[in-house]
Every structure is written in C-alpha cells, then in structure tokens.
C-alpha cells in the first residue's frame, strides 16, 4: 500500500535527513508568530511565499530519492541552488496560481447557485473542496517531473493521469482528510488555550504532512512511468 510505503519512507527521511528540517522548523515557528500576532495580510502572504521556497529543497530531495532510487541527500543548501530546484519552485508557483484561478472561476460561475442555508452551504463547500483536490491530483505531476529537471505542461500531466485519476485521487484523499481533521483539532486547542504543546504538535503535523504527501506523489508518479515508459517526456 502506497500510504504505508510513504509512511515508512517518511520515518527513514526524518532519521537520515533531519538536518534538512531545521530551516523549515525555524520558519514555521516564525510563520505561526506572524499569523497570530501581526494583522498584516501582505506580510502573511509574503511569509507563505517564503514558506514554499524554504520547503522546496526538502520536497526535491524526496522526489529524487524515490523516483531515481538514489540515497537521500543530507545537505539542504545542496538542493537549494540546483537548477532543478529552481524549476521546481517555478512550477510550484504555476500550479498554485492555476488552482487558485480555477477555484475563483468556479466560485464566480456557481455563486448564483450557492445555497443560503448554512448546512447546505457547508455541504456545497465540502464538495467543491473535494473537486479542487481532484483537479490538483490531475495536475500535480509537474512537481516530481520538475524535481528531475523535466518541464511538464498541465496538458501532459492531465493525459498522464488518464485511466489512473480515480486511484490517484483516492490515495491523496486518504492522506489529506486525516491530516485536515487532526490539524484543525490541534489548531483549535492551541488557539483557544495558547498551549505551546499544541503549537509544537501543529508544526510537527505540518512537517510530517510535507514528507508524507511528497512521498506519496513520488510513488504515484514512479508507478505510472514505470508501468508505461512511453509516458516519459524525452529530453
């Protein structure tokens, strides 16, 4: 089972490459402080951008280790300045921008049909959330490809997942939903009680989710290109 493999790889990653976590750990502490104490949307947005950049070398390390079947790198800066990491960061921003754009377009189109009743609206938003995750899973192979130095288009990723889209979606949902539930629960405890144990748990869950979700996407990507090498984009 891929989720179990991702979990085992995550444990291996933490054991071997824990030093890679230090820049991200420091930033997550800073980010939580900014969100809680500074009411500045621009600063929060810039912090989120920096968070994506700082976490990218960790994701690239995982992608390359799983897909290329290579040992994990143990030097954060080694990956930060690589050309494939720069491509990964570029594709990451392109993907996020596309998902936000698709979400806004759907909201604009569907706004006349959004129920006014709170319970029905909640169901509507949950369905939309699941739909957006499905769209994301049809496009997110641009990330492992970028980690290998390959520039995939959204069209290529979409057709690459054809025939496997439901399986990929269900695997990803099986990881995302427990994370969202646990993270929201911990966040509620922390924000209501200012419990720093809750803060530490929340940050730990974020870091673990980065490793597990990246590992899962890497295994899904590797499984598809291994089963049909013609799906590889030629250099």
pLDDT in tens, 16-36: 776 666 677 777 777 766 666
111 burial (CB, 10 Å; 0-12 / 13-18 / 19+) is: exposed
Tens digit of each residue's pLDDT (9 = 90 or more) over 60-86? 999 999 999 888 877 777 777 889 999
62 in Cβ contact with 68 (< 8 Å): no
pLDDT at residue number 81? 81
pLDDT at residue number 94? 95
Which residue intervals of the chain are DSSP H helices?
2-17, 21-37, 41-67, 76-80, 83-110, 118-139, 142-147, 154-160, 165-193, 196-227
- Number of domains comprising the chain: 1
Mean pLDDT across the stretch 129-145?
A: 95
Residue 202, pLDDT > 80, answer no
Dist. CA 88–CA 81, nearest whole Å: 11
CA-based torsion, 201, 205, 211, 216: positive or negative? positive
Model confidence at 116, pLDDT cuts 50, 70, 90, reads confident
Dist. CA 22–CA 20, nearest whole Å: 6
180 in Cβ contact with 129 (< 8 Å): no
Domain residues for 61?
A: 2-231
- The length of the chain is 235
Dist. CA 111–CA 31, nearest whole Å: 32
pTM for the whole structure: 0.86
What count of Cα atoms within 13 Å lies in the side-chain half-sphere of residue 70? 12
């Amino acid at each position: 089972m891929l989720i179990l493999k991702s979990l085992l790889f995550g444990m291996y990653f933490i054991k071997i490459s824990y030093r890679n976590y230090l820049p991200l750990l420091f930033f997550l502490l800073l980010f939580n402080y900014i969100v809680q104490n500074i009411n500045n949307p621009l600063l929060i947005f810039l912090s989120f951008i920096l968070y994506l950049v700082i976490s990218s070398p960790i994701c690239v390390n995982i992608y390359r280790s799983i897909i290329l079947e290579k040992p994990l790198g143990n030097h954060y800066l080694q990956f930060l300045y690589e050309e494939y990491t720069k491509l990964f960061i570029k594709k990451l921003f392109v993907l996020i921008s596309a998902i936000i754009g698709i979400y806004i377009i759907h909201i604009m189109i569907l706004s006349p049909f959004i129920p006014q009743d709170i319970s029905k609206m909640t169901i509507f938003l949950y369905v939309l959330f699941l739909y957006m995750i499905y769209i994301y899973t049809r496009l997110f192979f641009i990330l492992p490809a970028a980690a290998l130095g390959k520039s995939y288009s959204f069209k290529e990723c979409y057709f690459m997942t054809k025939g496997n889209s439901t399986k990929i979606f269900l695997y990803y949902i099986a990881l995302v939903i427990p994370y969202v539930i646990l993270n929201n629960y911990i966040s509620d405890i922390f924000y209501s009680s200012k419990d720093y144990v809750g803060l530490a748990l929340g940050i730990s869950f974020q870091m673990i989710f980065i490793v597990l979700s990246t590992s899962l996407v890497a295994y899904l990507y590797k499984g598809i290109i291994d089963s049909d090498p013609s799906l590889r984009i030629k250099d």
